[in-house]
Structures are given as C-alpha cells and as structure tokens.
Amino acid sequence: MKDTPVRPKNKFLIFGSPAIEEAEIKEVVASMRSGWLGTGPKVAHFEEDFRAYKGARYAVAVNSCTAALHLSMLAASLKQGDEVITTAMTFCATVNAIIHAGATPVLADIDPVTMNIDPEQMEAKITSKTRAILPFHFAGRACNMDAITKIAKKYNLQVIEDCAHAIETEYRGKKAGIFGDFGCFSFYVTKNIVTGEGGMILTRNAEDAARIKTLALHGMSRDAWKRFSDEGYKHYLVTECGFKYNMMDLQAAIGIHQLKRVEQYWKRRQQIWQKYNKAFSNLPIALPAEPEPGTRHAYHLYNILIDKEKYGINRDAFLNAMTAHHIGVGVHYLSIPEHPYYQETFGWQPEDYPNAMRIGRQTVSLPLSAKLTDEDVQDVIKAVVKIGANK
Ligand SMILES: Cc1ncc(COP(=O)(O)O)c(C=O)c1O
C-alpha cells in the first residue's frame, strides 16, 4: 500500500465496540459481590424497563436474539412443514431459528433502496403452507409495516419481527417489535445497547409470555430464582421440554444502565451518520437512503455500496484497504443464498434474489458506535476518501 495508514496499528478501531460506562461496571461488581449472578431481580427490572420503553404488554429477557426468535417460533405453534417467509438479506440466525423450530424457511428478495423485505415479493411467496412472516428491520430502518400487516391479515399469518437492529425504530409513531405477535431484540456487543450476549421478546399475549418464560428455562414451571428465595423451597415441575435460554442478572446489570442512555447513544449515532453523509456526498459510492417520512431510523448500521465499475476497486479490496488503515469494517450481509448450507439444503441460489445478491456483494458497514470520538469519525472519513483517491 502506497499510503501511510490513517491510524497507527496500536490504535486499531474495532468495529462495533460498545460504550461501557461506570454505572454498569459498578452494577456488575455489585452483582458479583452479592453472589446472585443468575436470573433474578435485575433481570425482572430490565424486562420491566424495556417493556415500558417500548410500550409493550409483556417482555421476556433471554440470552440472545437467536433464542428470542427460536422461542417466538415455538410459541407461534408452528408445525413441521409450516412455511415462514423471511428476507434474503439477514443474519443467518433469522433463518436458523425457523429451521430449529421445525418449520421451513422461504426467502423473499429485498427492496434495493431500503434493503428491507419487499412486501410484493413476500406476498408472491405465500402458499397454502405459509403460517408466519418474519420481517427484519435492516440496519434499524423500519420495514413497510402497513403493507406487511395487511398481508398478514389477508392470509391470517403470524408476524414475528426481527428487531436485532431496531431498538429505537418507529413506524408511523409505533415502535418496532409491537406490530407483530412477537418482537425479538438483541443486546449482543455490537448492538445499540448491550449486555454482552442477550435478547428480549415482546408479546401482547400473557399466555405466550408465560410459555416463553417456561421454555427459556428447561420447561420448568417456576423461575429458578423464586425456587431458592426466602419464601421457602418450592418444587419445580417440568411441563415441557425446554431450553437453557435465560438471561443472567450479570447481563441485566449492564442492560439496565445501557437502556437509560438509549436516546443519548441514538443521537450520537445519528450525528455520525450525518457526518458520513456530508463527507461522502461527492464520492462515487452509494450511501444509505434517507429515512422514510413518518419513520424513525435506529441508525444501527451505516453501510455504503462499493461498485467496482464506479469506484475502481471491488468491495473485498476496499475491506482490505480499510483494515490496512487500521479501521475495522463489517459486512451486513452476504445474502443468505450465498452460504453452502442453505444451497445444499434448500437449493437456494443467489441469482434468484438479485437485489440481495448485488447488495451483499457490494456492501460495507463503517464504524457507527456511540463510543466513537470525533477524531475516530474523521479517521474513518479520511481512510474512505484516501482509498477512493489512490485506487
Ligand atoms: C438480523 C439479526 N438477527 C438476529 C441476530 C442474532 O442476535 P444474537 O447475536 O443476539 O443471537 C442478529 C445478530 O447479529 C442479527 O443481526
């Protein structure tokens, strides 16, 4: 490489590094000193705070969004052979959860501008076996929930929202995750608020919430933390074959304080997003579309498209060049049909989902954490501009 790196090697900018502050550090230490590490009062506190933030009826915390998706699918009572339609542009966990629940995933292509599932393509995939649809709010941009809700009503389908990127997302004044029967959230380390690993399920139905809670802890009829409380020993009874998906108090200790800063972090990411938009407006790269009117974007990812024809180098060379400048970047995502497992199992081919295929081969996510300093943001900008000038 001709250039000296924008950042020194020992200051590598880690993609998606979370902002962790003193309050959560103290809370974790307090949990450790108390000896109560597992599921307990802090999880209940975090569930209640998150439920209130989203204006949902019920919230159940689990140890990942993958677990949240899996349990939602089970609570939706899907059977072997039932089809669930989702997007070709998502993380593998979305599709894997459908498979783990015993149902059959069906993909629909995306809208090339919003990168969200295209409702027309979704409707075209409906068969007599379709039981549910699983929209994913890509990068925190709200899906077209009017169209999706209409389709769900017309064909009597359950809606499970993948809100892994969409904590702050709104569509026509309503928060993402409460449109459908279930809304699934992630607090993985790169997400808008974090608990290390962690997830949450929102639902409007008390029975579904209770079943999810049971399934998240082996199918046992009582919460473990109540079993060992000072109210006296209570036997648990296994009422179905569940999983070990419960969130720990140690994780909730982080989440409680992160959630208090959700709006502050959102504003910072919006600011960075706007700085990138301004700095890159004259470069021959495609920038994210403006948020649609009447929606609130969660600004989880800032992804640019690198088209070799226009920019002179291809996406993978760009990724390497950013890394050589000691700036971490991401790819969200190679389209689902690019992966061998799905090709071999379902016969999916990338060419059958042309929008997701093209975007998956051109997309690069730039750092967008609330932790970034103005200097970090300037380094990212400098690196992108330099790579464009030196190709
Ligand atoms: C779209 C999407 N769905 C689901 C998940 C799974 O989340 P988790 O890592 O919390 O299981 C992710 C995580 O990156 C994601 O991006």
| Model pLDDT for residues 57-96, shown as the tens digit of each residue | 999 999 999 999 999 999 999 999 999 999 999 999 999 9
β-bridge pairing 302-305 and 363-366: antiparallel
What is the model's pTM? 0.97
Q: Who contacts 29 (Cβ-Cβ below 8 Å, separation ≥6)?
A: none
Mean pLDDT of 164-186: 97
* CA-CA-CA-CA torsion sign (298, 263, 148, 98): positive
In this prediction, residue 224 carries a pLDDT of: 52
Q: Which of 63, 65, 96, 332 to mutate to test the pocket of ligand 1 (most atoms within 8 A of CB)?
A: 65
Give per-residue pLDDT as tens, 255-312.
999 999 999 999 999 999 999 999 999 999 999 999 999 999 999 999 999 999 998 8
pLDDT at 140 over 90: yes
Please report where in the chains the tokens 């309503």 appear, as a residue. Answer: 174
Give per-residue pLDDT as tens, 31-63.
999 999 999 999 999 999 999 999 999 999 999
How many angstroms does the Cα of residue 160 sit away from the middle of ligand 1? 14
CB of 64 closer than 6 angstroms to any ligand 1 atom:
yes
The ligand 1 atom nearest the CA atom of 67: 11
Rounded distance, CA 183 to CA 162, Å? 6
Is omega for the bond preceding 171 within 30 degrees of 0, making it cis? no
The ligand 1 atom nearest the CA atom of 187: 10
Q: Which residues pair with 295 in a beta bridge?
A: 171
CB of 93 closer than 6 angstroms to any ligand 1 atom:
yes
Helix ranges, the chain (H): 22-34, 41-54, 65-75, 92-100, 119-124, 145-155, 206-215, 224-227, 249-260, 262-280, 308-311, 315-324, 340-346, 354-362, 374-390
Tokens of 259: 């959630």
The ligand 1 atom nearest the CA atom of 90: 1
In this prediction, residue 222 carries a pLDDT of: 66
Question: Phi and psi dihedrals of 184, rounded to 5?
Answer: -115, 130
Tokens of 218: 């082996």
Q: Catalytic site residue 260?
A: no
How many angstroms does the Cα of residue 186 sit away from the middle of ligand 1? 6
Kind plus residue range of the DSSP H or E element containing 366 = strand 363-366
Rounded distance, CA 32 to CA 37, Å? 6
In this prediction, residue 228 carries a pLDDT of: 62
Please report where in the chains the tokens 């700095």 appear, as a residue. Answer: 279
Looking at residue 192, the DSSP 8-state letter turns out to be S
Contact 63, 38 (CB under 8 A): no
How many angstroms does the Cα of residue 93 sit away from the middle of ligand 1? 6
Q: Which of 186, 197, 331 to mutate to test the pocket of ligand 1 (most atoms within 8 A of CB)?
A: 186
The ligand 1 atom nearest the CA atom of 333: 16
Q: Shortest CA distance to 47 belongs to which of 36, 59, 63?
A: 59
Q: Shortest CA distance to 281 belongs to which of 204, 369, 388?
A: 388
